[in-house]
Amino acid sequence: MSKISYVVPIYNEEENIPKLVQEILAVAPDISDDYEIFLVDDCSTDKGLELIRNLAEQNQKIRPLALARNSGQSAALSAGFQAATGEVIITMDADLQNDPADLRQMINHYGDYDMVNGWRFDRQDTLSKKIASKIGNGFRNWITKETIHDTGCSLKIMNAAILKRIHIYKGLHRFLPTLMRMEGARIIEVKVNHRQRQFGESKYTNWRRGVEGFYDVIAVRWMQQRYLKIEVKEEQL
């Protein structure tokens, strides 16, 4: 199996970090013995970075990456993608809502597909968030002519070479399946477990997510329509 780079964006998740790392370390050897874990600190104001540094001292697979200022989830992910040395990149949230154990079944689809996207079919979130997410996914699918149930699920396995071709802008982490598809990726959705957030709090309000998402979906539609599919017929080198 290829080398895996785990990339986790982290902003004020100090209570979640020890268990998160424990859960990733428990599943990682079943996916591949060759791996690295990028814990990307998005300039947390809690003790998160200190914790990450301590964990990295105990385990060489853990690679701290700290942003100079709070730059948002997309930026934290993008920094991790650029630093990743694996052929496969796996992402998840730091809040323990995703269950890394799901990777054991998700990885079975990798190879036949270039992207395996989690689908939180039984979401453990507030009703308002579930409704907002349904509307968000529906709107995104309608405008981008997609059929993805859950673009917002952070648990994803992706081909690193394809992913690295995408220039990630703020907010675009919500459109990774569409952006990967534009680059030619074959995508499958796999139902995954979803847990309630026990510690820390969500960094978004439904309103903020909605407004940003509305603006971003127009940009992504534009990108789809303007995508250059160039086929060279003849070339003299």
Applying CB under 6 A, the residues found at the interface with ligand UDP are 9-11, 13, 42, 70, 72-73, 76, 93-95, 202-204
Print the SS3 string covering the chain.
CCCEEEEEEECCCCCCHHHHHHHHHHHHHHHCCCEEEEEEECCCCCCHHHHHHHHHHHCCCEEEEECCCCCCHHHHHHHHHHHCCCCEEEECCCCCCECHHHHHHHHHHECCECEEEEECCCCCCCHHHHHHHHHHHHHHHHHHCCCCCCCCCCCEEEEHHHHCCCCCCCCHHHHHHHHHHHCCCCEEEEECCECCCCCCCCCCCHHHHHHHHHHHHHHHHHHHHHCCCCCCCCCCC
Of 19 and 57, CB closest to Mg ion: 19
Alpha-carbon gap, residue 190 to 110, rounded angstroms: 11
Of 61 and 203, CB closest to ligand UDP: 203
CB of 183 to ligand UDP, least distance (A): 23
Partner whose binding site includes residue 42, from ligand UDP, Mg ion, none (CB under 5 to 8 Å by kind): ligand UDP
> Between helices 48-58 and 17-31, what is the axis angle to 10°?
40
Of 174 and 181, CB closest to ligand UDP: 174
Partner whose binding site includes residue 106, from ligand UDP, Mg ion, none (CB under 5 to 8 Å by kind): none
Stretch that binds Mg ion, among 62-70, 96-104, 138-146, 203-211 (CB under 5 A): 96-104
CB of 49 to ligand UDP, least distance (A): 12
Partner whose binding site includes residue 76, from Mg ion, ligand UDP, none (CB under 5 to 8 Å by kind): ligand UDP
Of 91 and 159, CB closest to Mg ion: 91
Rg over alpha carbons for the chain, rounded to the nearest Å, is 18
Partner whose binding site includes residue 210, from Mg ion, ligand UDP, none (CB under 5 to 8 Å by kind): none
Our finding on whether 137 is near Mg ion (CB under 5 A) is no
CB of 207 to ligand UDP, least distance (A): 13
Alpha-carbon gap, residue 6 to 39, rounded angstroms: 8
Of 13 and 146, CB closest to ligand UDP: 13
Q: Which of 78, 97, 151, 178 binds Mg ion (CB under 5 A)?
A: 97
CB of 204 to Mg ion, least distance (A): 9
Our finding on whether 16 is near Mg ion (CB under 5 A) is no
Where along the sequence are the contacts to Mg ion (CB under 5 A)?
93, 95, 97
